[in-house]
Structure 1
Amino acid sequence: MNKVIKLLIGLGLLTFVNFSALQLFSQEIIISQNQFKSKLYNLNYYIKTAIDDKSKLLYVYSGDTLITINLSKFSELGRFKLKLPDLQEVSNEVLFPKFLKGELYFVHNQGGYLFRLNNDSLVRVDNSFNHKMQCDASILVRDDTLYKFGGYGFWSNRNFFTYFNYSTKEWDVVQPFNQEVPPGVSFADTYIDKNKIYVFNGLYQDEWDYHKIKELDQIWVFDFSSGIWKYLGKRKISASNYKMKISGENYFIMMDKTSLFKLDFPKNRTYIYRSSSLSSSIVANSIYYSGYMYLFTANSSSDSPIILQKVKEDMLLQELKDVKRIYISPNRIYYLLLIIILIPFLGLIFWINYKRNKNNKRIILKDGEIKYQKLVKKIDDTSYKILKALLDKNELDTNGLLELIDNKDLHYSHRTRVLHQLITELNLKLTLLTGINEDFILVKKSELDKRIKSYYLNKSMF
């Protein structure tokens, strides 16, 4: 009986643990019962989000439906069909939700329209119009102010920020305080780090042919505190196959079919992870907030529901493949070019110094003197002739050196003793001059006749 009770308790605990693990790792909310059929790019025009950071609420604008989610409990608070204003140029696809000043706003991504949520309807708050000069601009919120950057309109892209002025209810231009500015771009991504906004990716036009659209491979940063743009360098990672992103404050991941690229702009690092079944199931731009990822996922079936999953980062980023720089600084390129140019020059200087230092450590014979570094010593003519003859030839025998001694009337044995004395004195003078305690003039037996002595110099010192 006790065994049965223990077994039942064990099964109950196991069921509880499994249920808790399921709740922890597989928290899900159904966003839509089926995937939207879109001719535009991807589902990013049909699923858009905004966060109320104070109340920890996530707003999901899915198709024509607005869903409110409590992020703390990860539970749905409600959903309703959003009533759009009776304007011909307003549709679900062109409205993007943004939360600021304690209210939810909807920004028109083509022109100046701005709407505020009132119950289940949108109320227009701007005095602007749909000028279509900032189509597909980057939309962001900073310090409760709504900004747009870039955008396309009338055959050109914009390269500046605009912001919504609540006093005039119009959009004004943010005037930079320097001349160096990025090219006009649409579809750009942004990364917010305190007062700095990094601008990257997107499309721009060839300055010589406006019909040519190119992928932006430059990284720019705008400092709101100083109002200055700065070009950081060329992007190292291609974004040609980039389809979706996971973004948040100080956080950005872009994804393609094989890899996930986590970008850390303050450190200029790209962490490249291998894609997984979870990343492959993501169908729309997702968000990172307060340590969790909120991913919009679905399986490959066209009638599969779209589900919002709450997961920890390590569930998505599992296998790190590589770490690279996001961009190469132009200064770094100049330094590399400078190094390439300087290497031959520095090599020449090194060779000259090497030869000079080598010569400074050698004994030099010149004008009846022996020189070593900065020291100079005058020697007699006979000693100078002996050193010069030994330097010019590999070696000389006794008779060859005796011919250099002027007094030939002396007996051979006497002259030999004089020669040996001169050799000894020369070695002593050279030792005193250089401070090196070794013989500079060496003697050995002749290879032809062992009875004959041959004299030679230690030429490593000359």
Structure 2
Amino acid sequence: MRLLFILLFIGLNGYAQKIKIENFGVYQNSSLNTLNNTFELYFVDYRLTIDLDNFEKTYTDLNYAKNVKKEAGRLGSVAMRVQDTLYFIHGSGGMVYMIKNDTVRRVDKSFDHQMQHGACWFEHNNTAFSYGGYGFWSNRDFFTYYDAKQDEWEVYHPINSTKIPRGTSNSQFIKEANEFQFFGGNYINPHNRRERILNNEVWTFNFSTNEWRYLGQHETLDEFIKKISYKNYLVLIELNQITRIDVKNNKKTTYQHSPISAQQTAFRSMHYGNGKFYIVMGNITGTYLLIVEEEDFFGDMVEETKFYKNQSYWLKQGGIFLLAISIILLTLWFLKKKFVDRNKIKLLENGLRYHLKFTEFDAESMAIIRLLLSEKEVSSSQILRIVEKEQYSPAHNERIKVQKINDINIKIATLLGIKEDLITNFKSAQDRRIRLYKISKDYFNIKGLGK
């Protein structure tokens, strides 16, 4: 295992700048200062400043004011830079520290109320903000901000909101310009306040309009080891992959690990700025500051999916489902019709075709068949006009008509392989002297022939 760590760490040289940190003491926090391009690491007894232009290191001893105990973790779980001031905030109760003249001082006038465990801490409009958090069997559902003029925490009101999210803790968030987006974490079961329930709602708050807006629901997030916000994304570094969440565009993108991100268990802290990731990483070879280009931090993309789903998503999915069903039904109807049409007689210019069999008919026979197919009933005189000859007597022409119909019936019955006649005759109900003829149309493909 030791050899594996050494080989992996040596392999990082091709992907990152590596600055070794000697005499790594009792580590508390770190900060990236993009204003003067430095990286600062804070220990119990001193501060290490690394100039990112020339990588020179400066060590500064830290003193503690009388009202501040010198102990590990005193500089808080949250390091937040607001303009040129770096605040250290205790996430449990909002106690605020800062370093002035190399002395750690507590600057707030609040108390350790222990009501903000797992809150979201972020900077907005040059002010330190928090949202949510757990304490005393309940979760906060509001914002607080640090008033540097009064050295007090104040509540921020969502005055234009008709709905607000339920209180949560340990949620994930993205701060983008005037938008605060949060998701995940857990909330308290109001019927059993010892029970915490996973939250899968996605909300966004607009500081310009002071309004909450519900976006939808996301699938349960996989367990992650480290996380970092950069640009307008949140990156969750999991054991076997990286997940990048983009709430604004509703995208969840997964990547394979790169040689850098694969060492996530050794990461002590992570920061992003100027297109690069700054990672404090420690293992058996020592402790280093790694400076990694953005494209080198991610491996190959695996897939991109929707992050959350809402009513419009399900309406869209329902529309797609209905469309798919309609297409399937239309296809089945078309195939059935094609199958039915395939099992019917098709009329050609000189005869009839049924499957692969063809029977030739003379022009008069075809004219009679088309006439019968185009009308519900046909009188004897209509058929007689097709076959009669001027040189023959009426009786002779009548025999020709009867013979022609008999021949048609025999040929069609032979073509279909049946015994009954398709052309039948009967006396008119209105005038018993008139004989009518009709044909069984169900056997024919009669497109374009009328009724």
TM range (shorter): 0.5 to 0.7
How big is the shift at 1:95? 4.6
How big is the shift at 1:54? 2.2
Which residue is 2:106 aligned to? 124
Instruction: Specify the SS of the correspondent of 1:306.
Output: strand
Distance of aligned partners of 1:273 and 1:415 in 2 relative to their CA distance in 1, 3 Å threshold? same
How big is the shift at 1:337? 4.2
> After superposition, what is the alpha-carbon deviation per residue over 1:65-97, rounded to whole angstroms, capped at 9, x for unaligned?
433233344443334346365456985163532
* Conserved 8 A contact 2:40-2:50: yes
Residues in 2 aligned to 1:65 and 1:444: alpha-carbon distance in whole angstroms:
116
Distance of aligned partners of 1:27 and 1:127 in 2 relative to their CA distance in 1, 3 Å threshold? same
How big is the shift at 1:34? 6.1
Distance of aligned partners of 1:118 and 1:226 in 2 relative to their CA distance in 1, 3 Å threshold? same
Residues in 1 aligned to 2:187 and 2:132: alpha-carbon distance in whole angstroms:
10
Residues in 2 aligned to 1:32 and 1:411: alpha-carbon distance in whole angstroms:
126
How big is the shift at 1:189? 2.5
**1:145 and 2:135 are equivalent in the alignment:** no
> After superposition, what is the alpha-carbon deviation per residue over 1:349-404, rounded to whole angstroms, capped at 9, x for unaligned?
9999xxxxxxxxxxxxxxxxxxxxxxxxxxxxxxxxx97898679xx9979977xx
Residues in 2 aligned to 1:85 and 1:415: alpha-carbon distance in whole angstroms:
131
> After superposition, what is the alpha-carbon deviation per residue over 1:230-266, rounded to whole angstroms, capped at 9, x for unaligned?
1222224x43311101323424311111001122333
Which residue is 1:240 aligned to? 222
Residues in 2 aligned to 1:158 and 1:59: alpha-carbon distance in whole angstroms:
32
**1:190 and 2:173 are equivalent in the alignment:** yes
Which residue is 2:213 aligned to? 230
Which residue is 1:369 aligned to? none
* Conserved 8 A contact 2:129-2:143: yes
Residues in 1 aligned to 2:37 and 2:99: alpha-carbon distance in whole angstroms:
18
Query: Which of 149, 160, 173 is 2:155 aligned to?
Result: 173
How big is the shift at 1:292? 0.8
Paired letter, 1:323: E
Residues in 1 aligned to 2:172 and 2:22: alpha-carbon distance in whole angstroms:
26
Instruction: Specify the SS of the correspondent of 1:210.
Output: strand
How big is the shift at 1:443? 8.0
How big is the shift at 1:347? 9.8
Residues in 2 aligned to 1:330 and 1:62: alpha-carbon distance in whole angstroms:
50
How big is the shift at 1:178? 0.7
**Segment drifting more, 151-160 vs 181-190:** 181-190
Number of matched residues? Answer: 364
* Conserved 8 A contact 1:245-1:285: no
Instruction: Specify the SS of the correspondent of 2:261.
Output: helix
How big is the shift at 1:225? 0.6
Which residue is 1:329 aligned to? 310
Distance of aligned partners of 1:30 and 1:347 in 2 relative to their CA distance in 1, 3 Å threshold? closer
How big is the shift at 1:204? 2.3
Distance of aligned partners of 1:347 and 1:225 in 2 relative to their CA distance in 1, 3 Å threshold? same
How big is the shift at 1:312? 0.9
Which residue is 1:370 aligned to? none
Residues in 2 aligned to 1:390 and 1:305: alpha-carbon distance in whole angstroms:
95
* Conserved 8 A contact 1:29-1:76: no
Q: Name the TM-score, length of structure 2 as normaliser.
A: 0.67
Paired letter, 1:411: P
Which residue is 1:446 aligned to? 408
Query: Which of 232, 237, 259 is 2:241 aligned to?
Result: 259
Paired letter, 2:37: K
Query: Which of 262, 282, 287 is 1:298 aligned to?
Result: 282
**Segment drifting more, 339-348 vs 262-271:** 339-348
Q: Name the TM-score, length of structure 1 as normaliser.
A: 0.66
Instruction: Specify the SS of the correspondent of 1:448.
Output: helix
Which residue is 1:157 aligned to? 139
How big is the shift at 1:152? 1.0
**Segment drifting more, 111-120 vs 72-81:** 72-81
Distance of aligned partners of 1:453 and 1:189 in 2 relative to their CA distance in 1, 3 Å threshold? closer
Instruction: Specify the SS of the correspondent of 1:204.
Output: strand
* Conserved 8 A contact 1:111-1:131: yes
Distance of aligned partners of 1:342 and 1:413 in 2 relative to their CA distance in 1, 3 Å threshold? same
Paired letter, 2:310: S
Distance of aligned partners of 1:459 and 1:25 in 2 relative to their CA distance in 1, 3 Å threshold? closer
Which residue is 2:82 aligned to? 100
How big is the shift at 1:291? 0.9
Residues in 1 aligned to 2:105 and 2:50: alpha-carbon distance in whole angstroms:
22
How big is the shift at 1:227? 0.9
Query: Which of 268, 272, 278 is 1:284 aligned to?
Result: 268
CA RMSD in angstroms comes to 4.3
Distance of aligned partners of 1:161 and 1:390 in 2 relative to their CA distance in 1, 3 Å threshold? closer
Distance of aligned partners of 1:443 and 1:175 in 2 relative to their CA distance in 1, 3 Å threshold? farther
* Conserved 8 A contact 2:38-2:50: yes
How big is the shift at 1:415? 5.2
Distance of aligned partners of 1:266 and 1:449 in 2 relative to their CA distance in 1, 3 Å threshold? closer
Q: Which ranges of structure 1 fall in alignment gaps of 5 or more residues?
A: 1-20, 37-45, 353-385, 403-409, 421-441
> After superposition, what is the alpha-carbon deviation per residue over 1:19-52, rounded to whole angstroms, capped at 9, x for unaligned?
xx9988542233465697xxxxxxxxx5533333
Paired letter, 2:91: N
